[in-house]
Amino acid sequence: MINQNSYITISLSDLKQNMMVIKTGNIPVWRKNKTGQFVIVPLEKLEQFLGDNEKTDIVFFIDEEWKTQIITGDEDAIKKMIIGQNRVSNTGAEFYQEKRIEFQKMTPLQRDKKYQSVLFSLQSIESSKKDLSEELLVNLIEAVSDAFVLNKATFEENYEDSSNVSSDHIKAMARNTTSLVQSIMGIFKNSSATNNFINMLGEKSTGSTLDHMNSVFLIFLPLCYFYNSYFAKGKIARIRSEYRSKYYKYYQKLIPENPPESLEDVFNGGMREIPMDKLLQFSIGALLHDIGKIDNIDYFEGQGAYDRKIIMKHAPISYNMIVKTREFDSEVALLAALHHEYYNDPAGYGISKILFPDSTRKFKTPQYCLTYDISEIKNGRALAYVPIKLLEIVDVFDALTDKTRRYREKEFSIDEALEIMKNDFIEKSLKIDPILFTIFLDYINSHSVLKDKTLLQKLMIK
Burial of residue 442 (number of CB atoms within 10 Å: 0-12, 13-18, 19+): middle
Report pLDDT digits (tens) over 36-63.
777 777 766 666 666 554 555 677 888 7
Q: Is residue 205 part of a domain?
A: yes
Q: Which of 25-29, 199-203, 208-212 has the highest mean pLDDT?
A: 199-203
Domain limit, last residue, from 31, 56, 89: 89
Q: Which range has the worst mean pLDDT, 130-139, 264-273, 316-325?
A: 130-139
Angle between helix 75-89 and helix 92-105 axes, rounded to 10 deg? 110
Asked if residue 68 lies in contact with residue 102, where contact means CB atoms within 8 angstroms, the answer is no
Host domain of residue 80: 3-89
User: Considering the domain boundaries, does residue 310 fall inside one?
Assistant: yes
- 444-456 tens-digit pLDDT: 999 999 999 899 9
Within a domain: residue 134?
A: no
Where residue 436 sits, what CATH number does that domain have?
1.10.3210.10
Indicate whether 314 belongs to any domain. yes
C-alpha neighbours within 13 Å on the C-beta side of residue 5:
6
Same domain flag for 321 and 436? yes
The 10s digit of each residue's pLDDT in 96-108 is 778 888 888 999 9
Contact indicator for 325, 284 with CB cutoff of 8 Å: no
| No. of helices (H) and no. of strands (E), the chain | 22, 7
pLDDT band at 21 (very low <50, low <70, confident <90, very high): low
Which residue did the predictor score with more confidence, 213 or 409? 213
Q: Does 113 map to a domain? A: no
User: Is 273 in the same domain as 401?
Assistant: yes
The model's pTM is: 0.81
Question: Does residue 283 sit in the same domain as residue 422?
Answer: yes
Is residue 181 situated within a structural domain? no
Residue 151: band (very low, low, confident or very high) from pLDDT cuts 50, 70, 90: very high
- Please check whether residue 416 lies inside any domain of the structure: yes
Task: State the total domains in the chain.
Answer: 2
Residue 172 neighbours by CB under 8 Å, 6+ apart: 108, 112, 115
Q: Considering the domain boundaries, does residue 128 fall inside one? A: no
Give the C-alpha separation, 282 to 285, whole Å.
5
Average pLDDT, the chain: 84
Task: Give the residue from 38, 70, 89 where a domain finishes.
Answer: 89
Identify whether residues 450 and 324 lie together within a single domain: yes
Give the contacts of 306 (CB within 8 A, at least 6 positions apart).
Answer: 407, 408
Q: Which residues contact 41 (CB under 8 A, 6 or more apart)?
A: 29, 30, 31, 60
From 57, 89, 121, give the residue that closes a domain. Answer: 89
Task: Look at residue 78 in the predicted model and tell me its pLDDT.
Answer: 38
**Nearest Cα to 371, choosing from 264, 279, 247?**
264
* Other beta carbons within 10 Å of 257: 7
**Adjacent-strand bridge partners of 62:** 8
- Read off the pLDDT band of 92 (50, 70, 90): low
Higher-pLDDT residue of 21 and 86 is 21
